[in-house]
Structures are given as C-alpha cells and as structure tokens.
Structure 1
Amino acid sequence: MVDEPTPTRTGTAAEEPQQPIVAAPAEPTDAAAAQDASPVAAPSDSAATPPASTPSSVAPSPVVRVTTVTERAVVRHGVRTVKDSSLAEGKRVVRTKGVDGVKTLTYQVTTTDGVQTGKTLVKSVVTKQPVTEVVAVGTKKPQANCDPNYSPCVPIASDVDCAGGSGDGPAYVSGTVKVTGNDIYRLDNDNDGYGCD
C-alpha cells in the first residue's frame, strides 16, 4: 500500500481551519426595547407618594363673596385758643363748646368660605361736621392796689366814693366802672352793673 502524501496548505480561506462562530446578541425588537426602556419601579412609599385622587375626593371650589359694608367713625373736634384782655391773666373760659363730627366709611369686603380676605375703602363722606372748641385765655395784667371787684382800677381803701359826689372818701374814682364782683364800695346805686355812671 502506497502512502498518500500529506496535502500541503496553500493559505486560502477555504483551507484555513474554521474558527467557532459566536452569535452576536440579537437586536431587541421594538416591543422588547420599549419594555426594557421603561424605568424600574422604585419601592412604593405611601408616606411620600400621595394616592391618586379619585373624582369623589376632589376638594370643592372656595366660595368667594364680595359685599359692601358701611361704618361710622368719629371726627374729633379741634380746639382754638383766643386771647381775651378782659379776663385776668391765665384765666381760661370756654366760649364755644367743641362737638365731634361723624364720618361715614363705605368698604368693599371680600370673604372666602366665610373668612374675610380683603377690605378696601371705596368712599368716605363727612356726614356731620365737627364744631371747633373756642377757649378764651385772659391776658389782663393784675394792677397793683386795685380792687378785683371793679374794672377799670378802683383803689383799695377803707372807703371809695365817686369823684364829684357827696362821699367823703378817703379814696375816689373818676368815670364809670364796671362791677365784676361784689360792690363792696356801694358805687352801683341803681344796680345796673356799673358804678359812678
């Protein structure tokens, strides 16, 4: 039996020993890709994620109302001071008594579910004017040796008579004087409030 010669390699691909074929990973189908792309659901935490609201648990809409409200406010009266030379210095007399006025205020009030949420002034009218108080302050300087019951000055003495009259003094007054207190010298004989007239 004749030995067959060993075939020689020519280096062609057909003659190269075949390598094992490794299958490439299959491309995912659209349905599989969509399934793989969806995020993995995290463990549910009922405290952090509120439950889906159902139509029966939807909160009702708030009830908003707008109304007009009228209020009254006091308008404080002022005080005016005037000087009066017929009053003794420092003496105060109310000539006109002060009276407070009234102001009517109109507001637009907004309430939400019965709770006031807004208040806007839309109108203000003084419906009663205040009356200013007038106070007279005396500026008359006290006169030395003058009796405070008369004006102008009547000297202080044991007796005072009208000049040109039948009185014997020792002191006399010239001209008419007004009795502002007690007629201690009896100068006002006709009791009309004036002496030596």
Structure 2
Amino acid sequence: MRVRKVLLRVAVAISVAGMLVACASAEPERSPDTADVAAESLATPAETEAADVEATPSAEPTPTPSPTPAVEVKTVTATQKIPFKRTTVKDSTLAEGTRKVRTKGVAGVKTLTYEVTYTGGKETGRKLLSQAVTKQPVTEVTAVGTKKSAPTRQCDPNYSGCVPIASDVDCAGGSGNGPAYVSGPVRVIGSDIYDLDRDGDGTACD
C-alpha cells in the first residue's frame, strides 16, 4: 500500500515536469537584434522630428511697405501790412504847444508770392518767388502850434471896461502922463481911484 502511494507521487511529479518542459520548448526565443531594430525604428521618427524642428529657423512676418506720401507744389499769395510813417510840421496859426493831426496815417499793403510744397497734405517747404507793394502807405502828418499867446491883461474891478492896473491911469488923448492909458467911455462901478470921471456922471473918459 505504501509502495503504491510513493509510485503515484513519483508519476505525478514526472507528469508535471514533462508539462513544464513542453511549455518551455513551445515559447519562441526572442531575437535581441529584432528587438533592438524595433526600438530603433520606434525612436528614430521622434528624434528626426526633433532634429527637423531645431534645424528649421522660425519664419518672421514680412513687413508691409508704407505708402509713399503724395507730393504737391502750389503757388500761394499772401499780403503783409506796411507800417505808415509819422511826421510833424510847425503851424503858426495854432497856439503854442497845440497838436493837431492834419493827415491821418494809413498802412500800405505788400503782396508776396510763394512756391509751397505739400507732402501728404502738410506743408514741407516754402520759397519766395516775388514781392510787390500793391498799396503805398500814407504818412501821418501832425501840426504843432507855434503861436505865442498874448499876455493876459489885468483889469481894475472898479470899472466896467478894462482899465489896466497901474500906478496911475489916464484917459487916452488927454493931458495925463500915464504911465497907463484907457480909451473911453468906461463906466465907474466902484471907486474912481484914477479920477477918470471928472464930471461925476458915472462915465469916465467920455
């Protein structure tokens, strides 16, 4: 009985060992060269793409050329004021120190012609071609008076006419010796200090 069990165990062990050997012989051997080639074939496209990316320079955008601004040349005229001059003249009919404008000053006009260059609608150059006086200025004339005024005559308030104030006054054409004289008639409105109303009727030198 014991011998049978031992034989049975041996038989099972031999059977299992045979199955293992059969499985091992059935598995195909891996060729190292084939695996390396497969690995290389898988790695090559990625490396090649990386190399191409590094070798290809980045493309820069092409700048758009700016349009050339239009150039235009025109003839332009402009006017400019010419200041008038001033002068003075002496006038003996005006009182001394008096000023009066005889002729009013008027500014003249000068016309200038330019050649103007415009670039893109803006002025970029200007050249003077000609200039001419189209209106002559008028000189302003001012008269200055030179006439000396007569001295103011002082009159005695005792008489209605202008009897001069002096050390003595006599009627003109009489026998008195002055030094001052008055032509009558003159009314006495105060005191007859010069004794001109000899008849006492209120009127002197009549």
> How does the TM-score come out when normalised to structure 2?
0.44
Q: For the pair shown, which has the larger CA radius of gyration, 1 or 2?
A: 2
More helix by share: 2
> How does the TM-score come out when normalised to structure 1?
0.46
